[in-house]
A = this chain, B = another copy of it.
């Protein structure tokens, strides 16, 4: 589906699901909304941690239209589901955020691995949640980020099971999408990156593969700022709900 029509469906309340598999020609993004007093530190955080937080667009303070990557969008309504964090705690999960909006809010759009999943599926990689009601499994890890101001904490990753004969291929495909997390951050051993129970993802749904020929492959994830919000006690932050992304008008064919 076309990104403009898809955002309209979300705005009208006709789509509130996860977005893996949707709008296959268009770049999907994570969303982080902060008071402008935090904006500089967060932007430097993203620059220092561009693997989990590749910046696609920064809106001017108070602006709710992503003028560069999604003209006529409205970030208060065009995300299927949002999370509101207050003082390091998740306060609520809602479908629109106009009641929270004020002129000091700055919106950041960060690249998402869903943007390269279409090419994976076209190359016959199996992703059980793609175009379904389920969400990719995501985990908090022990991979530390480089702090900036109040923002500090560990990286979140997505998991995809890949046949051992096709590891090189999946690395090659995802590497091209440098602004959508690019190549994996870890291949093979969940415990090495601090994941104790692969059956219990911290976000999204369980996806287990007991076939020994399949290897768990982990990519940096734009849910990282949500983990950072929790561990850094940021006073106020709105994000998308994991898996429920904002869809831009950027073409996924421009891999950067």
Instruction: Spell out A's residues near B (CB within 8 Å).
Output: 39-40, 43-44, 47-48, 55, 57-58, 60, 68, 146, 148, 178, 256
Contact call A256/B178, Cβ cutoff below 8 A: yes
Q: Which of B40, B55, B148, B178 contacts A40 (CB 8 A)?
A: B40
Given contacts A178-B178, A178-B256, A256-B178, contact A47 B40 (CB under 8 A): no
Complex CA gap A44/B40 in Å reads 9
Contact call A48/B40, Cβ cutoff below 8 A: no
Contact call B68/A58, Cβ cutoff below 8 A: no
Complex CA gap A60/B45 in Å reads 11
Contact call A68/B146, Cβ cutoff below 8 A: yes
Complex CA gap A79/B39 in Å reads 30
Contact call A68/B43, Cβ cutoff below 8 A: no
> Using Cβ atoms and an 8 Å threshold, which residues of chain B touch A148?
60
> Using Cβ atoms and an 8 Å threshold, which residues of chain B touch A55?
47
Complex CA gap A256/B39 in Å reads 25
Interchain Cβ contacts under 8 Å between A and B, 17 examples: A39-B40, A40-B40, A40-B43, A43-B43, A43-B44, A43-B47, A44-B58, A47-B55, A47-B57, A47-B58, A48-B57, A48-B58, A48-B68, A60-B148, A68-B146, A178-B178, A178-B256
